[in-house]
Amino acid sequence: MRRVDFSTVINVIIENCRENMHTKKNRERAYSQLDLVCDMFYDFYTECDEVCFDNTSVSRWIKGNRPVPAAIVNYYRENESYSIGDYFQENCLKIVFDKVKLFNELIMLVHNDFSLSEEKKNEILPANINDFSDYEICSFIGKVIFTAIDRPFVPADKPMLPNSAITVSECVFGADVPAPCRYFCGRDDKLDELHSVLQEHSKIFISGFAGIGKSEFAKAYAKKYKKEYKNVLYFNYPGSLKEMITDMDFVGDNTTDDEHTRFTKHIRFLKSLRSDSLIIIDNFNAASDSFLSTLINYGCKMIFTTRSNIDCGYIFNLDVIGNPDELYQLVGKYFSYADENQAVIKELIEAVHHHTLSVEMIGKLLEKGLHSPEEILEHLRQNSADPESADKIKISKDGINIKETYYNHIRSLFSLYLLDENYQSIMRNMIFFEEVRIRYFAKLLELNDTNGINELCELGFITNSHADLIFLHPMIRDVVLLDLKPSFANCGTFIANLKSKLQIIGYELPDSAIIISSIKNVMKYIGNTDSSSYLNFLEAAYIFLDNYHEYDFMEIIISETEKLLDNDKLGTDNNRALLLNNKAMLPANRNDKLAKSISLMNKALSMCEKKSNPVLFANINMNLGILYIENKETERGLEFMDKAYLFIKLCRAYNDDFISIARNYAATLSANTKVNKALEILLECEFATEGCSSNNHAALIYDLGAAYILSHNYSKAVKKYNLAFAEYSALGCTDELTARKIAAAKQMQRNGYAYPKEWETAYLE
């Protein structure tokens, strides 16, 4: 990862000036690096004689062996630092051979330096990078130069890396390529062929039947040729390329980033990768993805594995392993008595048309001793499709065709196991996870032990990729959906435990990403099995997603809920009131159509039956108050907020809803100079929720500290702040604790108070 330091910045500038640095200066000599540095710091150079600008000193600054002297840094701290940009425009811009290229390279450098805070980046970066003048370009360059010299000096341990040599492992977590199956065999010639094709075509789609080994082939390629790439990243396609990029785990991500911010940061980084980097996207089984046409124009190499028909990029067709001896060796890896049954095993291989996953399952089935090789062969002959059937090489548009011969093989082998109900339950519930840890999964299913899961891994139905991570092969998932028919009823234990997690709001769960992925899979795989249960699930999921600002996903939830409630016989007036409330509060609706949001919320209020759901009634009143406040109708908004607070207090519903209502009401009162009333509300809520421990409760105590500062009660403010910080610490909310301490210190300083010395840390200045 390249850092915004003086050595990096000046080398980027020099590279963009080099072609013009033969220009004579005063007709005596070529324009040198020393001239460039002197001209950038022209006002210091002409006014001060404390530092000697000689070739040796400047060369050390440029190489990163020595920091720019403190005298220069202090001069620009104390004087106007923007003069660096002014003198760059006056003295240096004429030497730059492509100012737009320099501008864009420095933009990318700032974006990709994850050691810079987002606040600092926003301070440096121009508001609009598509419309700029020479002055704006040079002003930005000046800010970058000043930021570079004003940071703590880090000596250069090695020469500066060009853009194409970014080391992704320093910036991205969880994108390492999994090792291929330890029994991977054959296909050496195809690996070499793929490598040759990648030299000519940078975007390759590996196409072939489900279960043929495309994923293992791609992993094997990465292992064999990893030394030829600076970076190799691996992702399992989650159903959307934008979602995949947004969910990447970057070192510079903040817990406060919304989806758009994360996506923008990540995509800028991916755009900076060059041909010495490889991205593998596994199981890209989408008939269409609107972002694909954009992604394949990036400079790095990409490999997709897919069952879908793709009309862009180079299609690399992967067929079955033709040599039966290689597949016989694969069976031998699993079946201890393969040598004694060689002839029958080769017949089995032919019976399943050399299909890799089927051959692997045969080996595992034989090892378990449930059936003899001859019995399995006879079963396949009776139940599988005609070996000569033409549809054995047909792939449907969406990559799934349940009538394909290979699906019949897997279903036939699946039926031989005669799984009991416990095993069937495990297989049904595995469809909700892209990848999950064994113990986490067992806990959600309330299993007494993990023996059943481990047994299914041994049988080959569940894939154990590495450590204790497990997942279903896409073809096995399809068979489970077809034959075991998961539903809300037969997956009841998992759904109940998932819903209990959906009810946890007010602080961020460490497994939130898994929960969100599971919500999507519940919707995808069993949403149509029970409309009433599905409606109840969607309502719980919406509230949970709101806690994580998953606004795009929330819009999908609303759309699904509307479809369900189109049926007049499903749901109640309160269900429809909640739907209107959710629609009205979506940020997209509030930003663009605030008047419509208010109208929807009033309709929700008139529809809500407060006796049957008092908490919903209170929340709708509070949300209506928020909308009126946003619409500059303050007094009317406060009326609805007061009504919401009094109603929920009378109901004694002392939960996170009560805390949220109290906090929103108090914040609005404080903003309208009614601090004493705000304190009264917060103190009442604190007393009523004593013993509660959540992010939301910690925020309530923090708000009390802020209100005490506004009422000029310093000692009580410090006491409440410290209580809030202790609660954040106990909850493990490290990032929020840091942000809250900084905000509290700034608020105290703005109001003329010094923050306590015990708060003093590296992030408080």
Q: Of the given ranges (139-148, 422-431, 432-441, 750-759), which has the lowest mean pLDDT?
A: 750-759
On whether the CB atoms of residues 308 and 286 are closer than 8 A, the answer is yes
Name which residue leads in pLDDT, 182 or 325: 325
Instruction: Indicate whether 194 and 139 sit together in one domain.
Output: no
Say whether pLDDT at 385 is over 90.
Answer: no
Of the pLDDT bands very low, low, confident and very high (cuts 50, 70, 90), residue 130 is: low
Instruction: Indicate whether 195 and 298 sit together in one domain.
Output: yes
- Rounded Cα distance between 6 and 561, Å, is 55
Helix, strand or coil, per DSSP, at residue 296? coil
Q: What share of the chain is helix, strand, coil (3-state, %, to 5)?
A: 60, 5, 35
Instruction: Indicate whether 153 and 24 sit together in one domain.
Output: yes
Is residue 696, in this structure, part of any structural domain at all?
A: yes
Residue 389 has a pLDDT of 32
Domain stop point among 160, 179, 204: 160
Residue 406 has a pLDDT of 65
- Measured in degrees and rounded to the nearest 5, phi and psi for residue 155 equal -60, 150
Residue 464 pairs with which residues in a beta bridge?
470
Helix, strand or coil, per DSSP, at residue 674? coil
In tens, the pLDDT along 23-80 reads 444 445 577 888 888 888 888 888 775 556 778 888 888 888 888 888 888 888 877 7
Residue 287 has a pLDDT of 65
Say whether pLDDT at 412 is over 50.
Answer: yes
Is residue 253, in this structure, part of any structural domain at all?
A: yes
Residue 160 has a pLDDT of 38
Planar angle of CA 592, 593, 594, nearest 5 degrees: 110
Of the pLDDT bands very low, low, confident and very high (cuts 50, 70, 90), residue 397 is: very low
Name which residue leads in pLDDT, 590 or 330: 330
Of the pLDDT bands very low, low, confident and very high (cuts 50, 70, 90), residue 371 is: confident
On whether the CB atoms of residues 143 and 120 are closer than 8 A, the answer is no
Q: What percent of the chain has pLDDT over 90?
A: 30
Say whether pLDDT at 551 is over 60.
Answer: yes
Is residue 620, in this structure, part of any structural domain at all?
A: no
In tens, the pLDDT along 609-657 reads 988 898 899 999 999 999 999 889 999 999 999 999 999 888 877 777 8
Instruction: Indicate whether 150 and 292 sit together in one domain.
Output: no
From the number of C-beta atoms within 10 Å of its C-beta (0-12, 13-18, 19+), residue 480 rates as buried
Of the pLDDT bands very low, low, confident and very high (cuts 50, 70, 90), residue 194 is: very high
On whether the CB atoms of residues 97 and 19 are closer than 8 A, the answer is yes
Residue 131 has a pLDDT of 59
Domain stop point among 432, 465, 483: 483
Residue 425 has a pLDDT of 94
In a 13 Å sphere around the CA of 44, the CA atoms on its Cβ side amount to: 26
Instruction: Indicate whether 180 and 248 sit together in one domain.
Output: yes
Instruction: Indicate whether 17 and 137 sit together in one domain.
Output: yes
Instruction: Indicate whether 237 and 154 sit together in one domain.
Output: no
- Measured in degrees and rounded to the nearest 5, phi and psi for residue 472 equal -100, 135
Contacts of 110 (CB under 8 A, 6+ apart): 4, 116, 121, 124, 125, 144
Residue 159 has a pLDDT of 40
Instruction: Indicate whether 297 and 349 sit together in one domain.
Output: no
Look at residues 412, 399, 325, 402 and name the one whose alpha carbon lies nearest to residue 362.
412
Cite the DSSP H helix spans in 186-340: 188-200, 214-224, 241-246, 259-271, 292-295, 324-334
Say whether pLDDT at 416 is over 90.
Answer: no
- Measured in degrees and rounded to the nearest 5, phi and psi for residue 289 equal -145, 115
Q: Which amino acid is at 520?
A: K
Look at residues 398, 524, 419, 402 and name the one whose alpha carbon lies nearest to residue 461.
419
Residue 560 has a pLDDT of 95
Domain stop point among 296, 317, 338: 317
Residue 87 has a pLDDT of 87
Residue 394 has a pLDDT of 30
Is residue 569, in this structure, part of any structural domain at all?
A: no
Residue 314 pairs with which residues in a beta bridge?
204
Name which residue leads in pLDDT, 405 or 15: 15
Residue 430 has a pLDDT of 96
In tens, the pLDDT along 567-601 reads 999 999 999 999 999 999 988 777 767 889 999 99
Say whether pLDDT at 162 is over 50.
Answer: no
- Rounded Cα distance between 596 and 585, Å, is 11
Q: What is the mean pLDDT of residues 324-337?
A: 87
Most confident of 86-95, 237-246, 299-308, 532-541: 532-541
On whether the CB atoms of residues 179 and 466 are closer than 8 A, the answer is yes
In a 13 Å sphere around the CA of 162, the CA atoms on its Cβ side amount to: 8
Is residue 605, in this structure, part of any structural domain at all?
A: no
Residue 123 has a pLDDT of 84
Instruction: Indicate whether 215 and 82 sit together in one domain.
Output: no
Is residue 648, in this structure, part of any structural domain at all?
A: no
Instruction: Indicate whether 197 and 337 sit together in one domain.
Output: no
> Mean pLDDT, the chain, as a whole number?
83
Residue 169 has a pLDDT of 59
Q: What is the mean pLDDT of residues 378-407?
A: 48
Name which residue leads in pLDDT, 170 or 244: 244
Say whether pLDDT at 396 is over 50.
Answer: no
Is residue 519, in this structure, part of any structural domain at all?
A: no
Say whether pLDDT at 681 is over 70.
Answer: yes
Q: What residue numbers bound the domain in which 478 lies?
A: 421-483
- Which CATH number characterizes residue 673's domain? 1.25.40.10
DSSP string, 408-471: HHHHHHHHHT---HHHHHHHHHHTT-SSEEHHHHHHHTT-S-SHHHHHHHHHTSSEEEETTEEE
Instruction: Indicate whether 144 and 185 sit together in one domain.
Output: no
Instruction: Indicate whether 95 and 203 sit together in one domain.
Output: no
Q: What is the mean pLDDT of residues 93-109?
A: 84
Is residue 218, in this structure, part of any structural domain at all?
A: yes
In tens, the pLDDT along 519-539 reads 999 999 999 899 999 999 999
Number of domains in the chain: 5
- Which CATH number characterizes residue 435's domain? 1.10.10
Say whether pLDDT at 382 is over 80.
Answer: no
- Rounded Cα distance between 685 and 227, Å, is 61
Q: What is the mean pLDDT of residues 515-522?
A: 94
Q: Is 54 left (phi over 0), alpha (psi -120 to 50) or beta?
A: beta
Q: Can you point out the beta strands (E) in 252-385?
A: 277-282, 301-306, 314-317
Q: What is the mean pLDDT of residues 91-107?
A: 85
Say whether pLDDT at 88 is over 60.
Answer: yes
Q: How far is CA 245 from the centre of its chain?
A: 6
Q: What percent of the chain has pLDDT over 70?
A: 88
